[in-house]
Amino acid sequence: MPTQPLTQQNFEQVIATRAIVLVDFWASWCGWCTRFAPIFADSAAAHPEIVHATVDTEAEPALTAAAQITSLPTLVAFREGLLVYSNPGFQTAAQLEEVIQQIRWLDMDEMRRELGVQTPAVTAPAPPMARAGAATGRPSYGWPGLNPG
């Protein structure tokens, strides 16, 4: 799946309706941003179940300010609508993959307890991707941090 541009108009809706959303805040003048873009695009192709979104900080200054972005590139991740990761700076493909696997294995019930957030009230059955626990993904991965031997 290709990367999806986010704007002030669609940001909240995308974050609220998708299980995992990675957001790359970038600018055209940023050399590290242009180096990270193909890595992020490759990850989007490898993980079509995860939204890989981009925010052009020059075109979206209000959204950039609201997200408190002060350094580029910055990668931000949301799971089940909660901010679970934010890191400024360039990341290699291996580092990005490690972040994805850590996000997949987050215990969202524990995360909500730590943040003091109520579990969302469900009036209709939630789609499988929106439940807490291990997120679906490529079967070649086991527990985070373990290298296949």
pLDDT of residue 146: 44
Question: Is there a catalytic annotation at residue 30?
Answer: yes
**pLDDT tens digits, residue range 85-112?**
999 999 999 999 999 999 999 999 998 8
Annotated active-site residue in 6, 21, 33, 44 = 33
Annotated active-site residue in 6, 30, 67, 100 = 30
Residue 34 neighbours by CB distance under 10 Å: 13
Average pLDDT, the chain: 85
Check whether 120 has a pLDDT greater than 50.
yes
Check whether 126 has a pLDDT greater than 80.
no
| Average pLDDT of the residues in 35-53 | 97
More confident residue, 135 or 44: 44
pLDDT of residue 34: 97
- Cis previous bond, 73, omega within 30: yes
For the segment(s) 4-115, the CATH number from 3.40.1160.10, 3.40.630.30, 1.20.140.10, 3.40.30.10 is 3.40.30.10
Question: Is there a catalytic annotation at residue 147?
Answer: no
What does each C-alpha distance from 79 to 17, 103, 109, 133 come to in angstroms?
Answer: 10, 7, 12, 11
| Average pLDDT of the residues in 119-136 | 47
Q: By mean pLDDT, which of 19-33, 70-84, 91-105, 114-128 is the weakest?
A: 114-128
Q: What angle do CA 137, 140, 143 make, to 5 degrees?
A: 80
Sequence-separated (6 or more) residues with CB below 8 Å from residue 111: 79, 82, 84, 117
Check whether 62 has a pLDDT greater than 90.
yes
pLDDT of residue 1: 73
Check whether 144 has a pLDDT greater than 90.
no
* Residues forming beta bridges with residue 52, ordered by sequence position: 22
